[in-house]
Structure 1
């Protein structure tokens, strides 16, 4: 064996031996981390995909890339089969560097090609906001350990999570990925998630990527920095350090990687120094000065996606998120990212640009080696050089087990927040008439309703109405990915309250709002008998909470504001910054135990 192949040596020793053998092209390939898509039934996709730009053989065997963010997966068996074929292809490269497959979160119900994937063959849990509603680090550790076991069974060895951002701006479209608006609670839950992803002694671990440094929550007017109109991140309340706190905790806990956000800090000063208004991925003051220097972090810094090149998908384009440095060329942006202190280019595969920068003397080979060292050490710690393959025959039985689904379902039901119950309806009680309850339902499947009673078509014929709706948003679809992000004001159209009041006039009404971000419920709350808030909870889990079979225990992980005027006047960076919220952080009813159906 060559020393880098010897598992008896430390990851640092093996890394140094391998670095001494790698060509510049091999080291450069390590610095790219882009989207990859799978072929049918676990085949390698040898054409450009819906989003991925190149055939698999091109990026692995020709560009020598070894980090890929996988998108849609067909089944556990197909995912494992594809992963093994990908590793077989990687073995054909000069030194057989194994591939690290990463993913955005997959254990919730949200589907967004830019942030999360709903994956039916994994167990389903609450979104992170729902975990925050339960405030239980042990539950978060259990959730993350389940994520680890299910990921590694199909070959995924890096999570582009957990999210350490604070949900302080009620309009921001990515609140569901946060644990809460509270810095200390978020820090505790992020550390618990890191522990679960790491696994125990002898267990395969998943690389963690804490994001989005130094905290992406305070987006100006709640607009998201994926898009040009949302580039600014602001701190009118002077709370920068509170947003930084969960990242301090993650660094102390040993996170493998950190991802800066797209946003550019506007009007931010630290220690008397004005911070340059360029995106965090280009910001040397933030990455080298703060993250590497002040915080002492020496792990991988992975840029967010597509800071270098515009993203063309079909007829839609999303400009490179080069906020503050838009005038630079792609090569200049790449050099700026490296100069800032990042190790890896997210969403890019333009290895030729990096090789040209080294040949032209703009970037030194030593600088490339520094980042390659960090990236290789993670691969060695994960054990990928010793055995990158998975057991295809065991994949299906290892994920989405009955026990894991049960625990995820229970966590969903427990995370339900009862905002009010003026009608004394929860837990639901028997009708007392010796017949099935007649239910008028919206937003629930026929199967879920049938488990509770008899479904009827009109509120006038019902004993009870059960209605589920989403948080309000204003649809947009001019730029690639925009349609996936629920943005804009938080108030419902005025007709909704009138329609709900008409339902309530016919029978008692229980309303649930799926809070993927905050909502203004001031006009809605008075016209329903009972109101709940949920965070990625299935219909069955919600009704289990209503009946008391699994009692609802959630407490709001963020404020629900009283009005849009309060939202607009609130500082984006202040936890609990909206004046006199309708339902404040921590609210949730303690319900008396009652016999239920």
Structure 2
């Protein structure tokens, strides 16, 4: 349709039809075959048949035949023939499941993320979906938060790169979305990752400067990549819920950032303005949300019950509803739904595309690149002839897909036991314990298995029932029964290898002494078990690096690499009292941001800057030689950090500004060159101007965020 035709369609619509376009209900209301429990919460309310008839979009249901049927029945009842939008959480894959986003971040490979999201889009589109609620661009520093698994970590730069890559992968790069792509929805606007106490749906309190400097960049990157929708956050921003925050949505998002797409609430968030205490009833909640800029009310009846009467009673300007409806119609038009409400979907296409062998092969590759070797005391890789006792609650467990794999086939997922026994001839299995509960009989079987082999491989972790939305934890340690397994294994004197399956950074301080090697596997997806064995056996050399710090204790949270400088920084090696420190643990995390081991080692030498003084024009270059000083080929992620020594406001101790992945054969040396541009030195000042400070800057180039002072480079920014 042309813009004129869309305007004509809008003019022809009744108020009830307009309100319908701004409401979204779960698939259970459209199909008797659907589960009545929506995936992101349970809200019991009576949805009238007319509301379903006029509604504009459907949540959380997929399948080519199913969605074609729903669309067909809807169009029969729709006076104007306006098709439905089908939306769902396709976060790290549709049926072919890739590692959770926190694991995807550990690849440090935006191009790979774009590639896998293209696969996700193809599968989702073939199943009839139009919109994916991804990427989640929230910057997260608190691993107690259940939704940390859906993030890519604690760094603004990486989050920005991954958010943009996800949008490009899902949507493509054209304004009109092809039939084998889906629209992307960036979430949660804004700063949801800063929920107090790591508790879901909780308050967020931050300054505007902090919002702009640390949290907005990833959302902005998604907008610049052309994302079609923005989802509001559950939390407050400046004491106003994001879903009713006109300063956030109209002034910042639509005004300053010039977003002209659809804004959708999170699940039930409009109705939740009442318990938030900023709306007295549904009518006031609907009025505040619409006027703030929320176009679609997801899974509440606030709009459906109230907008029409608010307009009739002249309590709200009708232009607000017309603007919102037009944006929804424009999105449907960009998807080509007016020309083809089924967008080329067919059962044959779905069966051909979903779960294609090439998709599964990519899933294994991505899983291999996402895994992070946290510890290795010369026990990995494992020779094929090694006799292995595979023990632990994750040893024969198909729960590898993660919480948001709502369309994944868990019952078809290869377990670690199956993959290990295929690779290792001498492998025995004993469960040892339940995930969270001790079992005496299982423990006896595990002890017997430990006596029969040369090496002990423990498959430990937390299930998807301990992560994701609504699953925040006050303590992020492994269950005591799993720690007991590790202790008993260590007491045998045999090598102990831990394969860790989890969806958040854990406190591994108690586990670490019992393990000779720890491989962070995350919830690795459909081909995750095969990827684990590929790394354990040495077929693949691990290259993943953490994008979120692992704390030494829950009480250390939040701990993150780019913290602000303090007035009493702890001197290296000091235990003196009157400095910013803990008296019972070091300040540093157990495993820092950017950290990850390899089966080889890399040497850094000949660090150099092109100039010691720079006026900010052109480019300043940093060079370093990287040498593979080990015996096998490996990939190293070389990381560039910069510190602004003296700023107008307190600045972080370091900030990631660039990185490169290099592949090196044994003995090979490559020179890696980074370009520093003036914008890398800029930040939001106290008056919210975006500028740099003249003066000294420190430059660190290393394989993690841990940077030695003796390898520091410095330059001065001199402004004329």
Q: Under TM normalisation by the shorter chain, which class is it?
A: 0.7 to 0.9
Q: CA deviation at 1:103?
A: 0.4
Q: Map Cα deviations across residues 108-134 of structure 1 (whole Å, 9 max, x no partner).
A: 5xxxxxxxxxx6xx2121111111101
Q: Is 1:411 aligned with 2:366?
A: yes
Q: Pairwise mapping of residues 97-246 of structure 1 onto structure 2 (< 5 A)?
A: 97-105=82-90, 107=92, 122-199=95-172, 203-204=178-179, 205-225=181-201, 230=202, 232-235=203-206, 239-241=210-212, 242-246=214-218
Quick check: 1:235–1:571 contact (8 Å CA) kept in 2? no
Greater shift, 325-334 or 151-160, is seen at 325-334
Residue segments in structure 1 that go unaligned for 5+ positions in a row: 5-9, 74-78, 109-118, 266-274, 310-319
For residues 595 and 555 of structure 2, what CA distance do their matches in structure 1 show? 22
Are residue 337 (structure 1) and residue 324 (structure 2) matched? no
Whether the 8 Å contact between 2:178 and 2:335 is mirrored in structure 1 is: no
Give distance in 2, aligned partners of 1:379 and 1:540: 40
Provide the residue aligned with 2:267 in structure 1. 305
Q: Deviations over 1:157-209 (max 9, x none)?
A: 10111111112122211111111211011101111111111126683231111
For 1:115, the equivalent position in structure 2 comes to none
- Give the structure 1 partner of residue 381 of structure 2: 427
Looking at structure 2, the residues matched to 360 and 142 of structure 1 have their Cα atoms a distance apart, in angstroms, of 51
**Which one has the bigger strand percentage?**
2
Call closer, same or farther: CA 1:61–1:38 in 2, change over 3 Å: closer
Partner residue of 2:390? 440
Deviation of the 1:47 alpha carbon: 8.9
Q: Is the 8 A contact 2:274 2:281 kept in 1?
A: no
Q: Which has the larger radius of gyration?
A: 2
Match of 2:489 in 1: 503
Asked whether the equivalents of residues 91 and 150 of structure 2 are also in contact (C-alpha less than 8 Å), the reply is: no
TM superposition shift of 1:56: 9.6
Mapped contact 1:163–1:211 kept (Cα < 8 A) = yes
CA shift in 2, pair 1:401/1:57, >3 Å: farther
Query: Does 534-543 or 164-173 show the bigger shift?
Result: 534-543
Cα distance in 2 for residues equivalent to 1:395 and 1:300: 28
Q: Does 1:280 align with 2:242?
A: yes
- Residues 193-243 of structure 1, C-alpha deviations (whole Å, 9 max, x = no match): 111111266832311110011221111111111xxxx2x113389632211
8 Å Cα contact 2:26/2:299 also seen in 1: yes
Aligned residue for 2:499? 512
Match of 1:459 among 450, 467, 475: 450
Residue number among 460, 472, 489 corresponding to 1:469 in the alignment: 460
- Measure the CA separation in 2 of the matches of 1:542 and 1:255: 34
In structure 2, runs of 5+ residues without a counterpart are 397-416, 431-448, 567-585, 601-630, 634-720
Instruction: Give, in angstroms, the shift of residue 410 of structure 1.
Output: 1.4
Residue by residue, what CA displacement relative to the aligned partner does 1:539-579 show, whole Å, maximum 9, x if unpaired? 222122211223322100100011223216x5999699993
Q: Distance in 2 between matches of 1:353 and 1:56?
A: 14
1:106 CA displacement: 5.3
TM-score of the pair, normalised by structure 1: 0.82
**For each residue in 1:330-383, what CA deviation from the matched residue of structure 2 results, as whole angstroms up to 9, or x when unmatched?**
111111111212111111245132212212221232211110011110100000
Aligned residues: 527
Q: Over the residues paired in the alignment, what is the CA RMSD in angstroms?
A: 3.0
Q: Which residue of 2 aligns with 1:591?
A: 599
Match of 1:580 among 575, 579, 588: 588
The 5 A counterparts of 1:8-27 are: 10=2, 12-27=3-18
Tell me if structure 2 keeps the 8 A contact 1:511–1:531.
yes
Alpha carbons 1:35, 1:70 under 8 Å: kept: yes
Q: Distance in 1 between matches of 2:274 and 2:37?
A: 23
Which residue of structure 1 lines up, in the alignment, with residue 313 of structure 2?
Answer: 360
| CA displacement at 1:475 relative to structure 2 | 6.9
Return the match for 2:65 from 61, 76, 81.
81
Taking structure 1 as reference, are residues 499 and 536 closer, same or farther at Cα in structure 2, changes over 3 Å only? closer
Partner of 1:316: none
Pick one of 457, 477, 481 that aligns with 1:491: 477
Equivalent position to 1:248, from 220, 228, 241 = 220
- Partner of 1:239, secondary structure, is helix
**Secondary structure of the structure 2 residue equivalent to 1:259:** strand
Q: Which has the higher contact order (CA 8 A, sep 6+)?
A: 1
Quote the Cα distance in structure 1 between the aligned partners of 2:418 and 2:35: 40
CA distance in 1, matches of 2:284, 2:228: 28
